[in-house]
Amino acid sequence: VGYLNAKKGIELLLQCINEAVKIDPAYCFHIAGEFQGERFEHYTRHLVLEMDLERNIVYHGWVKDIPAFLNDMNYIISTSPWEGCPNNIIEAMACGVKPLIHNWPGASDIFPENLIFSTIDEFISILKSSDYDSSMYRDYVSENFNAEKQLPEIERFILSLLEKNDNADQSKSFGSSLNLKGWQEKAGSRYSGSNEKQDEEESVNYLQPLPPKVEIVDNRKAYTVDFCRGKKVLHIGCVDSGMMQKRIAENNYLHHQLAGAAERLIGIDIDSRGIKLLKEEGYDVETVDIETDKEKLAVLTKNVDIIVIPEVIEHLSNPGQFLDNLYSARFDSDILISTPNSFSYRVAQYLSQGVELVHPDHNCYFSLVTLKTLLNKHGFDIRRHLLYYWPSDNNFGRKYEQILDRSPYLAEGIIVIAHRK
């Protein structure tokens, strides 16, 4: 099952099939996958003919429904000379199919030894054995390859790697542990209209430097409030849609907290219902579409010391247009932007479970580099970078803090202080 190439050990597979057919000519072997390389396919088909096995082998090509395919099988044979964590074996065992596994390095660390063979004689011995227990194969997968067991193992592995580099310079340890060569390539004729010499000299560097030192804060809202204390503030995105009343009651509503700290506070948002509610509560707020209402934005940005844009930019359909509108207002204030971090460790841990931890209204993710790129393209320089996370007094929270001590770029979100060029 899978791509058919030298890494699958087809030569050994054919020898195993040949010996099995000598025992019982009725054995039929089904191969699911595509050949990679014409020479390898030619060799395989040639050897099948020479060994007189064409009646015992069926090529299915690429199979989309692997569980349905495996449910019709009695055995799965893996003759690869090396593997990582072979999904084809695990999927087959989950379907109750008995695996016969070649003894590649590490195979016995993952699978039961009575299913592993080093020689063709051992392969035949496992094949002929009456020891066939579908429920045991299913239970083995359930007990050893579930998320509850594997995710803590992955976390421990990551932490062990970070501990090895704990006393090393971060940039040096990162560079020495990865092969950074080859991540710069010639752009060449991509740049149409340029001369040949220029094409040859153009290149693209995929390795962009991160800020060498980044402050981490454990409360995004508290930092934002302190930064705005005693200042005239324009708060863009002041409505907490669907959560505002709950957060007001819990004193966890950012606009309310800003109102208690700022000298003067104006709030704007596209959510007209939320704005109506805030007006009834006595707040100075207006309904504004920051992506289209350029003129109103220009008026509101006058005579303010700081423009706060917290957790907004990821909701926009066209963040570049918003920044262009903001730039054209010609204000002289700092802007504070915060947004979730695309490389957050908390978000990444859910991916192996087939889900993504994301607000359903988010349209885009930003990293430190891509946020800087976007701001620079639209006329803003970043003066200060920060990262934030939400501390929690549980097992995950404590592990997360350990990880952030060594790799702060895995924090939950980004805060930047920027200024118009």
Note the pLDDT of residue 249: 75
176: confidence class by pLDDT, cuts 50, 70, 90: very low
216: β partners: 387
Decide if pLDDT at 415 tops 50: yes
Domain edge (last residue) among 145, 177, 194 = 145
State mean pLDDT over 240-246. 75
What does the pLDDT look like over 52-76, one tens digit per residue? 999 999 998 888 888 899 988 999 9
- On whether both 230 and 132 belong to a single domain, the answer is no
Give the chain's mean pLDDT. Answer: 87
Please say if the pLDDT value at position 247 is more than 90: no
Residue 239 pLDDT class (50, 70, 90 cuts) = very high
User: Strands 116-117, 184-186: parallel, antiparallel or unpaired by DSSP?
Assistant: unpaired
Give the end of a domain, one of 123, 145, 167. 145
pLDDT at 170 over 50: no
Q: What percent of the chain has pLDDT over 90?
A: 58
List pLDDT tens digits, range 270-293: 999 999 999 998 999 999 999 999
* Single pTM value for the model: 0.56
The answer as to whether 162 is a domain residue is no
Check whether 163 has a pLDDT greater than 70.
no
220/140 same-domain check: no
- What pLDDT digit, counting tens, does each position of 110-148 carry? 999 999 999 999 999 999 999 999 999 999 999 888 878
Q: What confidence score (pLDDT) does residue 363 get?
A: 93
What is the mean predicted confidence (pLDDT) over 29-37?
86
Question: CB count, 10 Å around CB of 343?
Answer: 17
Structure confidence at residue 297 (pLDDT): 92
Q: Which residue has 């844009």 as its token pair?
A: 309
Which of the pair, 144 or 202, is modelled with greater confidence?
Answer: 144
Flag whether 238 is in a domain. Answer: yes
Same domain? 242 vs 378? yes
The proportion of the chain whose per-residue pLDDT surpasses 70, expressed as a percent, equals: 90
Dist CA 407 CA 345 (whole Å):
10
Strands 116-117 and 98-102: parallel
Q: What is the mean pLDDT of residues 238-258?
A: 83
Domain harbouring 359, CATH code:
3.40.50.150
Domain span at residue 370 reads 215-420
**Are 313 and 396 in a shared domain?**
yes
DSSP codes joined into one string, 244-265: HHHHHHTT--HHHHHHTT-SEE
Spatial distance between the Cα atoms of 328 and 343, rounded to a whole number of angstroms: 31
Number of domains in the chain: 2
Residue 51 sits in a domain whose CATH number is 3.40.50.2000
Number of CB atoms found within 10 A of residue 208's CB: 11
- Considering just the CA atoms, what is the radius of gyration of the chain in Å? 30
Mean pLDDT across the stretch 209-224? 90
pLDDT of 189 above 80: no
Lowest pLDDT segment from 112-121, 183-192, 253-262, 379-388: 183-192
The residue among 259, 380, 277 whose CA lies nearest residue 327 is 380
pLDDT, position 202: 63
Mean pLDDT lowest among 201-215, 284-298, 332-346: 201-215
